[in-house]
């Protein structure tokens, strides 16, 4: 009888196994074929087949190791026992990613391997009054690892909260021990409130009062020192004499340092610091050089004047975080913006035309001695006529506003009216008396301003607040107002946006209607066109990367508002 | 000076293995403290099975590479005593047979704790399988897991490992690979 062995001429095959790592245990855990079984396995081969060797060379495993110091954690508050888990409740995990300027892999991994932000915040040692929005967590994750950062969120998205919470986490992990916070004077109390809300255990020292008191406070080395820009500049020498620097310096409304030759810019640049953060909703107000001024503080030498917007966009990509409400607050009530083109009254027209004609003639007569100041004065004069006729006091804008406010007040809603001039605000206050207006501008003492805001919010009869762009456009929370009127136009759209966003911000309960009053056929329309171009500039740096057309309200543009001609041709800025 | 009452500070290990673009495998071991803060991270270079290994190990190739090659090499590098090792892949689970550290299998698909059983057992439950534990290890391991879960979703640290391996450029096909040798760099350039 022929066996299978004979028929197929089966011969045993020896498999040689070589260079096995010492830790290899064949067959121990996984039911692998034992060596004996392999040796006796029969396979069909040709008669010529002899021995087939299958070398099993297992290369040494290369392991790269990284070790980290677990960051010190405060244990001042005992962990509650048998408590609900402090883990994050949502499924979202916000990772803290290493900034581009962190080069060492060890350092980058130290960020990557940290727990997600939700875990850090949900820890019972870091209680928060409200659950942050997802984009706010992203903002905190952005700021946390960065030594150089610009948080340029659109106004109303909670830059303050993001900065406070991040500073809190850094302080608690002892990565930061001294923080200096610089803000405009009217916002000092706002920052104190925000710290009380979002970081109640962290003491904040406001540097205020007479010189000797301020010196004393500076030298205390408080955990968080809060100072306004003006005081900071005044105390420059005290700052330089301090025997300690700051681990973190935060500039709020950092457009205040956009002027590179300004004193404020110089003083903040000289502060000894480890981390430099700037908060601004309007990193570019007039030209890209504004951003260069801010970067003199945040990351010196990374930008230079005259860079193209696209170059700037690339250079700042890892340092600037910019989100808009449209992008992140899709459930936020809408903002409706409309341009009300208003024909001047006949009296206003008459005055306006005469002023423009005379003004242009006078400018022309100046010839080559014409300056920016001359043009600027004419622009201001014409804009004021668009508001009120200086001769008769007539104003078609005011009449339009009155009609709009009737409806606003009748529905129990509140409105904010912005103007460039206190004089215009005063005139409006008289005309709007039936709506019990309150005023908020540079001539209202600081001590009274909080009271004005409280009255506007709480007094049901008070339907209108009249604000100047200068005093009222930054930092205030007026989200209970439903209407915003821009009685005249500011020089750049960023400030207008700041103003509008006093009402259209987190917490607003309904849609916000913005009305921009525009005197038809006047210089206001020409300015409006330039403002539109400025928006393009902003987008080209932060959003789209497109090259803008002509950028800011430059000398040339101011001149171009009037087609000034001389026998030598079109007049240009000197 | 130690007063003798110092709290036991357990170290939790998380081990996972990833496939790179070429089909090779590389592993990462992350050690965390009880609050989820990283203590150590170890990762391997890519390990490719030879043709001989593929033939010989057949369906057991993956457990072999996960446990006996990658897992063993990574555990050998840990400088801290691991109290509990979590894996998130079935082929990695048999490493329990080769180490004295309790090993649990975390199911990445069920981050929420399972409900208590019908017998009215009100002990906290964890989304991990403890079936490979010695009976004597079970109670202590459960207690460790409950403590860890106060701060860490058990599936989450595996995401960190994956992210770190990506950050290190080990997955292949990436432009910059900080751990790659010069030859690799030349290959990328080519």
User: How far is CA A427 from its chain centroid?
Assistant: 35
Q: Please tell me the least confidently modeled range out of A478-482, A536-540, B113-117.
A: B113-117
Q: To the nearest whole percent, how much of chain A has pLDDT over 90?
A: 34
Question: How many Å apart are CA B146 and CA A49, to the nearest integer?
Answer: 61
Give A318-332 pLDDT, tens digit per residue: 999 998 877 776 666
Task: Tell if the CB–CB gap between B156 and A29 is shorter than 8 Å.
Answer: no
Q: To the nearest whole percent, how much of chain A has pLDDT over 70?
A: 78
B-chain residues near A61 (CB < 8 A):
44-45, 47, 69-70, 73
Structure token pair of residue A81: 């026992």
A67: confidence class by pLDDT, cuts 50, 70, 90: confident
- Higher per-residue confidence, A27 vs A43: A43
Structure confidence at residue B135 (pLDDT): 85
Query: Are the C-beta atoms of residues A453 and A462 closer than 8 Å to each other?
Result: no
Q: Evaluate the CA torsion angle A172, A174, A177, A180 in order and state its sign.
A: negative
B-chain residues near A68 (CB < 8 A):
37-41
- Higher per-residue confidence, A218 vs A93: A218
- Residue in chain B lying closest to A96 (CA): B160
Residue B144 in this model has a pLDDT that exceeds 90: yes
Contacting residues for A190 by C-beta, under 8 A, at least 6 apart: A160, A183, A475, A476, A477
Residue A27 in this model has a pLDDT that exceeds 70: no
**CA A490 to each of CA A11, A408, A415, A515, B131: distance values in angstroms, whole numbers, following the listed order:** 96, 24, 18, 14, 71
* Mean pLDDT in residue range B37-60: 91
Task: Tell if the CB–CB gap between B156 and A98 is shorter than 8 Å.
Answer: no
Residue A540 exposed, middle or buried by CB count within 10 Å (0-12, 13-18, 19+)? buried
CATH number at residue B160: 3.30.420
- Higher per-residue confidence, A48 vs A202: A202
B68 touching A (Cβ < 8 Å)? yes
In a domain, B5, yes or no: no
Number of C-beta neighbours around residue A38 at 10 A: 17
Residue B130 in this model has a pLDDT that exceeds 50: yes
How many angstroms separate the CA of residue B22 from the nearest CA in chain A?
A: 17
A-chain residues near B30 (CB < 8 A):
113
* Mean pLDDT in residue range A119-132: 77
User: Which of A21, A39, A56, A64 to mutate to probe the B interface, most B CBs <10 Å?
Assistant: A64
Please provide residue A386's backbone torsions phi and psi, each rounded to the nearest 5 degrees. Answer: -65, -25
Question: How many Å apart are CA A390 and CA A276, to the nearest integer?
Answer: 49
Q: To the nearest whole percent, how much of chain B has pLDDT over 70?
A: 76
A-chain residues near B72 (CB < 8 A):
23
- Domains in chain B: how many in total? 1
* Mean pLDDT in residue range B142-158: 91
Query: B84 — alpha (psi -120 to 50), left (phi > 0) or beta?
Result: beta
Q: Please tell me the least confidently modeled range out of A239-243, A331-335, A388-392.
A: A331-335
How many angstroms separate the CA of residue B27 from the nearest CA in chain A?
A: 9
Helix (H/G/I), strand (E/B), else coil: A148:
strand
The Cα diameter of chain A in Å comes to 131
Task: Tell if the CB–CB gap between B56 and A56 is shorter than 8 Å.
Answer: yes
Mark which residues 126-165 of B lie under 8 Å from A by CB: 149-153, 156, 159-160, 163-164
Angle at B26 between CA B24 and CA B30, to 5 degrees: 165
A-chain residues near B174 (CB < 8 A):
none
A81 touching B (Cβ < 8 Å)? no
Structure token pair of residue B11: 């170290």
- Residue in chain A lying closest to B14 (CA): A113
Mean residue pLDDT across chain A: 79
Nearest one of A353, A356, A337 to A345, comparing CA atoms: A353
User: Which of B52, B148, B170, B171 to mutate to probe the A interface, most A CBs <10 Å?
Assistant: B52
Please provide residue B91's backbone torsions phi and psi, each rounded to the nearest 5 degrees. Answer: -65, -15
Mark which residues 38-77 of A lie under 8 Å from B by CB: 38, 54-59, 61-68, 70-71, 73
Mark which residues 406-435 of A lie under 8 Å from B by CB: none
Query: A340 — alpha (psi -120 to 50), left (phi > 0) or beta?
Result: beta
Domain range spanning residue B170?
12-189
A450: confidence class by pLDDT, cuts 50, 70, 90: confident
* Mean pLDDT in residue range A29-37: 40
Contacting residues for B144 by C-beta, under 8 A, at least 6 apart: B10, B12, B83, B84, B102
Task: Tell if the CB–CB gap between A30 and B60 is shorter than 8 Å.
Answer: yes
Task: Tell if the CB–CB gap between A65 and B68 is shorter than 8 Å.
Answer: no
Question: How many Å apart are CA A62 and CA A551, to the nearest integer?
Answer: 56
Task: Tell if the CB–CB gap between B163 and A95 is shorter than 8 Å.
Answer: yes
Nearest CB to A67 within list B40, B53, B153:
B40
Structure token pair of residue A244: 């300690």
Question: How many Å apart are CA A439 and CA A250, to the nearest integer?
Answer: 31
Helix (H/G/I), strand (E/B), else coil: B117:
coil
Residue A485 in this model has a pLDDT that exceeds 70: yes
In chain A the domains, ranked by start, together with CATH numbers, are: 1-63 (no CATH), 105-328 (3.40.50.10810), 335-560 (3.40.50.300)
Question: How many Å apart are CA A295 and CA A285, to the nearest integer?
Answer: 14
Question: How many Å apart are CA A527 and CA A496, to the nearest integer?
Answer: 13
Mark which residues 106-165 of A lie under 8 Å from B by CB: 108-110, 112-116, 119, 123
Nearest one of B76, B80, B39, B42 to B179, comparing CA atoms: B42
Question: How many Å apart are CA A365 and CA A357, to the nearest integer?
Answer: 12
Task: Tell if the CB–CB gap between B42 and A63 is shorter than 8 Å.
Answer: yes
User: Which of A20, A30, A53, A104 to mutate to probe the B interface, most B CBs <10 Å?
Assistant: A30
Nearest CB to B73 within list A55, A61, A113:
A61
How many angstroms separate the CA of residue B183 from the nearest CA in chain A?
A: 16
* Mean pLDDT in residue range A369-390: 87
Residue A278 exposed, middle or buried by CB count within 10 Å (0-12, 13-18, 19+)? buried
A-chain residues near B50 (CB < 8 A):
56-58
User: What is the β-pairing status of strands A512-519 and B12-19?
Assistant: unpaired
- Residue in chain A lying closest to B95 (CA): A29
A526: confidence class by pLDDT, cuts 50, 70, 90: confident
How many cross-chain Cβ pairs, A to B, lie less than 8 Å apart? 144
Task: Of A189-198, A385-394, A536-545, give the range with the top mean pLDDT.
Answer: A385-394
Structure confidence at residue A267 (pLDDT): 96
Task: Tell if the CB–CB gap between B160 and A112 is shorter than 8 Å.
Answer: yes
Task: Tell if the CB–CB gap between A110 and B50 is shorter than 8 Å.
Answer: no
A78 touching B (Cβ < 8 Å)? no
Terminal-to-terminal C-alpha distance of chain B = 59
Please provide residue A321's backbone torsions phi and psi, each rounded to the nearest 5 degrees. Answer: -115, 120
A-chain residues near B24 (CB < 8 A):
none
* Mean pLDDT in residue range B127-151: 87
Task: Tell if the CB–CB gap between A56 and B52 is shorter than 8 Å.
Answer: yes
Q: What is the ipTM of this complex?
A: 0.81
In a domain, B6, yes or no: no
How many angstroms separate the CA of residue A70 from the nearest CA in chain B?
A: 6
Residue A510 exposed, middle or buried by CB count within 10 Å (0-12, 13-18, 19+)? exposed
How many angstroms separate the CA of residue A371 from the nearest CA in chain B?
A: 55
A-chain residues near B37 (CB < 8 A):
68, 70-71, 73, 114-115
How many angstroms separate the CA of residue A4 from the nearest CA in chain B?
A: 24
- Higher per-residue confidence, A480 vs B175: A480
B30 touching A (Cβ < 8 Å)? yes
């Amino acid at each position: 009888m022929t066996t299978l062995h004979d028929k197929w001429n089966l011969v045993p095959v020896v498999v040689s196994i070589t260079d096995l790592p010492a830790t290899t245990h064949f067959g121990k855990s996984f039911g692998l074929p034992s060596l004996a079984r392999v040796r006796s396995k029969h396979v069909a081969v040709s008669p010529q087949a002899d021995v087939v060797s299958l070398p099993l060379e297992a290369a040494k495993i290369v392991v790269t190791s990284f070790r980290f110091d677990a960051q010190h954690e405060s244990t001042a508050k005992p962990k509650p026992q048998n408590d609900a888990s402090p883990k994050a409740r949502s499924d979202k995990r916000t990772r803290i990613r290493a900034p581009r300027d962190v080069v060492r892999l060890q350092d980058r991994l130290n960020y990557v391997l940290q727990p997600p932000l939700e875990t850090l915040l949900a820890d019972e040692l870091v209680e928060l009054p409200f659950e942050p929005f997802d984009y706010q967590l992203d903002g905190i994750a952005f700021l946390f690892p960065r030594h150089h950062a610009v948080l340029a969120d659109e106004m109303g998205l909670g830059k303050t909260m993001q900065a406070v919470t991040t500073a809190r986490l850094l302080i608690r992990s002892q990565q930061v021990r001294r923080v200096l916070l610089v803000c405009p004077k009217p916002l000092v109390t706002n920052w104190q409130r925000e710290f009380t809300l979002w970081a109640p255990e962290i003491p904040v020292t406001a540097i205020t009062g007479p010189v000797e008191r301020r010196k004393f406070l500076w030298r205390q080395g408080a955990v968080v020192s809060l100072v306004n820009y003006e005081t900071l500049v005044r105390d420059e020498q005290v700052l330089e004499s301090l025997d300690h620097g700051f681990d973190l310096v935060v500039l709020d409304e950092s457009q205040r340092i956009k002027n590179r030759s300004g004193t404020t810019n110089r003083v903040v640049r000289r502060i000894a610091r480890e981390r430099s953060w700037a908060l601004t909703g309007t990193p570019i107000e007039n030209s890209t050089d504004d951003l260069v001024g801010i970067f003199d503080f945040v990351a010196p030498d990374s930008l230079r004047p005259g860079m193209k917007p696209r170059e700037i966009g690339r250079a700042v990509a890892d340092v600037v975080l910019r989100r808009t409400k449209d992008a992140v607050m899709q459930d936020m009530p809408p903002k409706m913006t409309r341009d009300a083109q208003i024909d001047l009254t006949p009296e206003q027209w008459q005055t306006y035309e005469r002023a423009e004609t005379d003004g242009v003639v006078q400018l022309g007569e100046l010839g080559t001695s014409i300056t920016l100041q001359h043009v600027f004065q004419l622009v201001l004069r014409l804009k004021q006529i668009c508001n009120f006729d200086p001769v008769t006091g007539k104003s078609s804008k005011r009449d339009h506003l009155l009609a709009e406010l009737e409806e606003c007040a009748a529905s129990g809603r509140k409105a904010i009216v912005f103007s460039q001039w206190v004089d215009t605000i005063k005139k409006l206050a008289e005309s709007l008396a039936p709506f019990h207006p309150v005023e908020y501008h540079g001539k209202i003492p600081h001590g009274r301003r909080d009271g004005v805001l409280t009255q506007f919010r709480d007094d049901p009869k008070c339907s209108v607040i009249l604000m100047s762009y200068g005093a009222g456009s930054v930092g205030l929370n007026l989200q209970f107002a439903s209407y915003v009127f821009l009685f005249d136009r500011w020089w750049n759209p960023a400030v207008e946006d700041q103003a509008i966003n006093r009402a259209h911000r987190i917490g607003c309960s309904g849609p916000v209607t913005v009305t921009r009053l525009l005197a038809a056929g006047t210089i206001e329309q020409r300015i409006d066109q330039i403002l539109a171009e400025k928006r393009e500039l902003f987008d080209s740096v932060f959003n789209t990367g497109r090259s803008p057309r002509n950028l800011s309200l430059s000398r040339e543009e101011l001149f171009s508002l009037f087609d000034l001609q001389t026998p030598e041709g079109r007049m240009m800025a000197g | 000076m130690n007063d003798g009452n110092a709290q036991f500070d357990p170290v939790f290990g998380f081990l996972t293995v990833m496939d790179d673009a070429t089909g090779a495998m590389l592993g990462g071991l992350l050690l965390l403290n009880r609050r989820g803060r990283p203590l150590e991270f170890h990762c391997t270079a890519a390990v490719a099975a030879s043709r001989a290994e593929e033939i010989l190990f057949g369906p057991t190739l993956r457990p072999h590479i996960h446990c006996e090659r990658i897992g063993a090499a990574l555990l050998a590098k840990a400088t801290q005593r691991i109290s509990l090792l979590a894996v998130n892949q079935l082929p990695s689970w048999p490493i329990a047979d080769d180490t004295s550290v309790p090993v649990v299998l975390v199911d990445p698909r069920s981050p929420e704790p399972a409900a208590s059983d019908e017998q009215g057992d009100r002990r906290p439950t964890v989304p991990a399988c403890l079936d490979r534990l010695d009976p004597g290890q079970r109670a202590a391991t459960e207690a460790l897991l409950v403590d860890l879960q106060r701060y860490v979703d058990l599936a989450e640290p595996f995401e960190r490992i994956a992210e770190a391996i990506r950050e290190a450029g080990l997955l292949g096909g990436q432009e910059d690979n900080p751990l790659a040798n010069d030859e690799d760099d030349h290959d990328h350039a080519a």
